Amino acid sequence: MAEEELRTSPVLPPEDRPEWRYLKSIPRSLASDRHPIIVGHRGARGLAPENTLAAFRVAADLGIDGVEFDVQRTTDGALVVFHDDDLDRTTNGHGPIYEKTLAEVQALDAGSAFDPAFAGERVPTLRETLDYLQTTNLLLFIELKDPWRFPGMEAEVVTLIRELGLVERTQIRSFYHAALHLVCHIAPEIALSELWWDRLPGDDEVIYKTVNAFFPFCTPEAVAQIHARGQEITAWTVNELDDARALIAAGIDGLTTDYPDRLLTLFAP
């Protein structure tokens, strides 16, 4: 099968879709009753090296509602928290992360590229990340990166979430919706969200209860339409206060941001 076909996100025919009544909405925040919830992008990537334990610690200390982070797999089968295909931008390594062993990846400096103060910060495994997040009040928004490249990733992620008792605090998301269909089949108790980068789904494409989209698409009209069909909608990546204010006024359900400290000012007493 061609690589492009592997990436295809099929719209399931109505007869193959999961029963709506059993699908989960966005997990309820343990940190606040804010609406919308504030989610730190890759931890809090404007404030600390993205997708590192340092970024998750910053997010937890801020008291935001949740963190978003990305999962891939190394060549020897370890699930790691990392966004890019290549190591070059955020570490002192080079080449695709999925061609490296876990030992090679964790020998790298994943902090200095952001700021020398974070020198020595490592690329964490998914287990290390979940072990830390388990000690916080943060919700977990886990993005499966390129799951077509990593057969079996979905089941491995689900196993860890269940093992650590994080089902009620987790939403799994992906741009590759076939991976979500698989997660729904093996773990219907976990909340799911489709990611959309170029448009919003039409009424005939509604499958799960959360849509996560690039924020310019989240107009008041679009938010109202999505709410009218029983879905919630969250937006990425919202870094400017004027954009956040407009989305809040439109009724958005969640804001993903590099700078959660900024957005928190909109909810100051």
3-state secondary structure of 165: coil
Contact 66, 138 (CB under 8 A): yes
- Where are the alpha helices (H) located in the chain, listed in sequence order? 3-7, 53-62, 102-106, 126-133, 153-163, 177-186, 220-228, 241-250, 260-264
User: Which residues, including other chains, have CB under 8 Å from residue 230's CB and lie 6 or more apart?
Assistant: 20, 209
Q: Label residues 160-170 b or e (16+ Cβ within 10 Å = b).
A: bbeebebbebb
> Active site includes 83?
yes
Q: Which pairs count as long-range contacts for 47-51, CB under 8 Å and 24+ apart, including other chains?
A: 47/258, 47/259, 47/260, 47/261, 48/114, 48/118, 49/90, 49/110, 49/111, 49/113, 49/114, 49/115, 49/118, 49/121, 50/83, 50/90, 50/114, 51/81, 51/82, 51/83, 51/90, 51/123, 51/124
Catalytic residue among 35, 41, 181, 185: 41
Catalytic residue, chosen from 83, 177, 181, 185, is 83
- Catalytic residue status for 41: yes
Cα 53 to Cα 7, 120, 247: the distances in Å are: 30, 12, 29
Place of tokens 């729904």: 184
Q: Which residue's structure tokens are 């590759």?
A: 176
Q: Which residues are catalytic?
A: 41, 83
